[in-house]
A and B are shown apart, each in its own frame.
Chain A
Amino acid sequence: MSDPVLQISQLSFSYKKNELILDGLSLEVFQDDKIGILGPNGAGKTTLFLLIAGVENPLAGEIYLKEQKVVPGTFNSKLGLVFQDSDDQVFNFSVFDDIAFGPRNMGLAHAQINQRVNEALRLLGIQHLARRAPQQLSGGEKRLVAIAGGILAMQSQLAIYDEPTSNLDLRYRRRLINFINTHKQEAVLIASHDLEFVLETCNRVVILDQGKIAADGMPQDIMGDRLLMEKHGLEVPHSLRKKFI
Chain B
Amino acid sequence: MEKLINPEPNQSIFCHWEPRAKIIAFSLLLLSFTMVKSLALVMAMLLTSSIIFSLSGLPAKCLLHRWKIPAFPVLLIGLILLFFSKGQPQLYLGPLPITQEGLVAILLILSRLMCMLALIAVLLATTPLLLLINAMRDLGLPGILADMILFTLRYLYTLNDQLEQMKRALTVRGFSTQGLSNLKQYGILIGAILVRSFEQSDRVYRAMAVRGYKCESGPTSNITWNFQDKVLFYSFSFLAFLIALIQLYFNMPGV
Give residues of chain B (165-220) contacting chain A, Cβ–Cβ below 8 Å.
200, 203-204, 206-214, 218
Residue B150 at the chain A interface, CB threshold 8 Å: yes
From known contacts A88-B200, A91-B154, A91-B204, infer whether A105 and B210 are also in contact, taking CB-CB under 8 Å: no
Q: In whole angstroms, how far apart are the Cα atoms of A73 and B214 in the complex? A: 10
Number of residues of chain B lying within 8 A (CB) of chain A: 24
A92-B154 in contact (CB<8A): yes
Q: In whole angstroms, how far apart are the Cα atoms of A91 and B213 in the complex? A: 12
Residue B130 at the chain A interface, CB threshold 8 Å: yes
Give residues of chain B (199-247) contacting chain A, Cβ–Cβ below 8 Å.
200, 203-204, 206-214, 218
A77-B200 in contact (CB<8A): no
Q: Chain B contacts of A106 at CB under 8 A?
A: 212
Partner pick for A102 among B153, B157, B211, CB 8 A cutoff: B211
B210-A104 in contact (CB<8A): no
B212-A75 in contact (CB<8A): yes
A105-B212 in contact (CB<8A): yes
Which segment, of A78-86, A117-125, A184-192, faces chain B?
A: A78-86
* A91 nearest CB neighbor, chain B only: B204
B206-A104 in contact (CB<8A): no
From known contacts A50-B206, A101-B211, infer whether A93 and B158 are also in contact, taking CB-CB under 8 Å: no
CB distance from B218 to the nearest CB of A (A): 6
Q: Chain A contacts of B207 at CB under 8 A?
A: 81, 83, 88-89, 91, 150
Q: In whole angstroms, how far apart are the Cα atoms of A94 and B208 in the complex? A: 15
Q: In whole angstroms, how far apart are the Cα atoms of A133 and B129 in the complex? A: 13
CB distance from B149 to the nearest CB of A (A): 11
B211-A154 in contact (CB<8A): yes
A102-B203 in contact (CB<8A): no
Q: In whole angstroms, how far apart are the Cα atoms of A106 and B213 in the complex? A: 9
Closest 10 CB pairs of A and B: A105-B212, A102-B211, A75-B212, A88-B203, A135-B157, A89-B207, A53-B210, A81-B210, A93-B130, A55-B206
Question: Chain B residues in contact with chain A, CB under 8 A?
Answer: 5-6, 129-130, 150-151, 153-155, 157-158, 200, 203-204, 206-214, 218
Question: Chain A residues in contact with chain B, CB under 8 A?
Answer: 50, 53, 55, 73, 75, 77, 79-81, 83, 85, 87-89, 91-94, 97, 101-102, 104-106, 133-135, 149-150, 154
